[in-house]
Chain A
Amino acid sequence: MSGVQAPGAYEGAANVIAAGMLLLEFGMLRQALVRDQIRLYMAQSALISVLAIVIAADRNLPDLYALAALSAALKVVAVPLVLRRLLRRAGLDDEEMPGVAGSNTLSPATAVLAGIVLAAFGFFCFGSLGIHGPAAPALALSLAAAMVLVSFGLMIVRRDVASQAIGFLSLENAISLASLVVASGLPFLLETGFLFDLLAAVVVFGMLIRAHHARSDSLSTADLTKLQG
């Protein structure tokens, strides 16, 4: 065996961006402070806009520039702003925004190792499907699948509504990545339609955070495990 051939510069760049997004997902998994989780989410959203620009430049799809700008405005600016306001209202201090106590069910190192196992499962399952999109490389699709599973993992191992909301939002990032890879030539209207689904998710999670905080005076979901009769 003489080693694996190097991908082209475009494919390499797209893969590096996708790998960076997966790493940021892992960062959210192990980060204890909600404030820093939001920052990581912003960085991840910025990366997906960069990826859209890279694909647009390489495949000559001018629609994607508009999509990149819209997605950046929404996910890098608007959503984090709304999330921060919600959390401030729920009593998390804006300066500190500490994590919700007892939110981690696993220690960070264990969570990362469990995340690696999840990522490997998603990665190799999608890899064996052998889907080759016209726009972006198969590897980026597998990375997106790994991201989906890791963000599910994030929602499962955390016991507070804020982190679960961020896990859900980054799940949307993963799906955007997959759709960019598989169907970057999708009509602009459909793409923006998917993007605005995100707003519905933000509203739902906003309601959830506020309702939960009003009922139990905390963001922790630990006391939701018992049925009340």
Chain B
Amino acid sequence: MSAALPIPVIQLLQVLTIAIGAPGVTGVIATVEARLQGRRGPRIRQPYYDLAKLFRKEALAPEGASWFFLAAPLIAVTAYLTIPLLIPVLTTYGLPLGYMGDILGGGFLLSLASFVIATAALETGSPYAQLGSSRAKTFSAITEPVVLFVVFTVALLTGTDLPYALAATVRSSAGQIIRPAHLLAAAALFMVILLETGRIPVETHTGTNEFGMIEEARSFEHSGPFLALIRWGSELKQLILYTILADVFLAPWGLASTQRADAVGLAIVALLAKACAVGCVVAVIDNSFAKLRLFKITEFAAGAFLLAVLGVFTLYLGGG
């Protein structure tokens, strides 16, 4: 028998798991992607080394940029680190702070983070950073309705919009998994995740071609620790979205149902394994599709919207 952990410690562990695991998941995806291409690829620990290197470097701000330029990465990372309190990362039962906000609350925090970074990019006056933030805002306006319809599906399925409730519903029976509404909403969410994390078919993650850049271009003028925060922030965002997909929609198993230390430890391993599995799928997609032209991205978003809307439709007739 192992000791029971106090609730605040578990809550802290949720945040720490996401915070420390995020660069590792990015490293795994980069390695898998390289292996699929027949390259050796970087070490899995490489994102940690990159962050450590950037944190040691000098920070510069462009002339004329205000305090907001430097505050933005801090606000963004704070927002990203708040979200793990709201979603089921390690436990099946809701932790006390988990009821601070529902799925929409988490969505607001994600949008806030992306908004402050886009605003900071506008501050710089650099054309590429501005281009990136303008594009990022344009496409997030298109994906917003998709996210809303996914939330509606969840709300109709469970009667609430708490992520914990949906995970519990999915766990309750196999019939909950093979219902069209659930599958359609999960597929729509996956497409939104591809768009939000800047993966193929929307954006090349590793390229240096500015014309195709969306998210990547926003951090052009940041440097040193602030660039590190932005990088870390996008890794956090990626792991948070994967966690929502895996722990709420696709596979809410392996979460701790008690406060025992071994169950929680197992949940940490399970979460990282699930995130890496999602990452492997993303890496395969990265390698098997070409990047869409910028103006074709609306079609991609329209496809995701179709899935989410059909999910809600099927529920209205009771059979979904």
Contacts and interface: CB of A to CB of B under 8 A. Distances in A.
B153 to A, nearest CB: 10
B320 interface: yes
A15 to B, nearest CB: 5
B157 A9 contact: no
B34 interface: no
Interface stretch (B40-48, B171-179, B274-282): B171-179
A189 interface: no
B313 A120 contact: yes
B307 A12 contact: no
Given A19-B180, A139-B320, A123 B313 contact: yes
Main secondary structure of the interface of B (DSSP, over half): helix
A22 to B, nearest CB: 7
B318 interface: yes
A30 B301 CA distance: 13
A116 B149 CA distance: 14
Interface string B290-314: 0000000011011101110110011
Contact of B306 (A13, A26, A143): A26
Contact of A109 (B174, B178, B298): B298
Nearest to B301: A109
A120 B306 CA distance: 11
Given A1-B159, A6-B175, A116-B309, A16 B183 contact: yes
Given A2-B159, A3-B159, A116-B309, A8 B299 contact: no
A184 to B, nearest CB: 16
B302 A108 contact: yes
Nearest to A30: B299
B157 A3 contact: yes
Given A3-B169, A30-B299, A19 B175 contact: no
B299 A3 contact: no
Contacts of A18: 180
A4 B299 contact: no
Interface string A136-158: 01111011000000000000000
